[in-house]
Every structure is written in C-alpha cells, then in structure tokens.
Amino acid sequence: MSLISLPMQATKRIALVAHDNMKANLLEWARYNRGSLSRHHLFATGTTGSLIERELSLPVKRYESGPLGGDQQIGAAIVSREVDFLIFFWDPLEPQPHDPDVKALLRMAVVWNIPMACNRASADFLISSSLLDTPYDRLVPDYRGHQQRPVKV
C-alpha cells in the first residue's frame, strides 16, 4: 500500500482525554506543561475539558463526556483531520462502560498515524519532542483502494 502525506502545522490540535481515575494525573501533567500546551489548540472530552479550562485558564474545545459519545467525537475529529495529536490517560485497571468507544478512539489514532500517548511517560516524551512546534508531514496509507473496492451486495 502506498503512503500519502498529511501535513500538520506548527500549531498542533491536541486532544486531551482522561478516565475518571486518571483526571488528576492528566491535570497535574497539563499544569506542568501549560507553557507548551498554550501554544497549541486544545480539544477534550466534557469533564476533562472543563477541568483544564478552569485550572489552566486555557481555551478548550469541548466534546461530550466520554461515556456520552465524546470519545467517538474525538475519533471522528481525527478522521476528519481536525485533531493532530492525542493524549489519553486511560485507566487499564478499571472496567469502563464505554470500552468499545475507547478501543475505537485508539484504533482511529493508529489508523491515521497521529502521535498518541496513553500514559505520563509517553506524554512527557511527546510534549518535549522538537517536532511539537514545527510543521510535520504525517504519512498514512493511501486508503483510496480500500474505499473504492468492489463490494458484493
């Protein structure tokens, strides 16, 4: 499969998501990285976005709460190239009522090859990357062949 290039601007569109047990951890991480985050456009699911707006005084485009469809909305924003970057502090030890939505969100991040961190160490490496504040050409498979395949009905 051939690859196509999808350019990212120097100013990234970063989605921030956290399960309930991880919100304090994400908020602490965001406070520490406020300077870096302030140079980018922020997106978040409902409650997480409210906390970040209130605690960091940064504008955040908020979607619904994750269990109410917010994870799917962020996944759709990735597909429509409205989100470039995903920081998702998810709780691997707590069952989630919307687990299929979480899996779908993570799958979209991989399918569309966006930078993604699912824990603090990975988020630290991504936020401190020299690529964060520069344009970047993200390579993704050319899915046109899949989209134009013959389908039997």
What residues are labeled active site?
71
Terminal CA-to-CA distance of the chain, rounded, Å? 25
- DSSP type of residue 69: T
Measure CA 38 to chain center.
16
- To the nearest 10°, the Cα dihedral for 44, 46, 49, 54? 170
CA distance 64 to 71: 8
Which amino acid belongs to residue 62?
R
Q: How many CA atoms lie within 13 A of 148 on its CB side?
A: 4
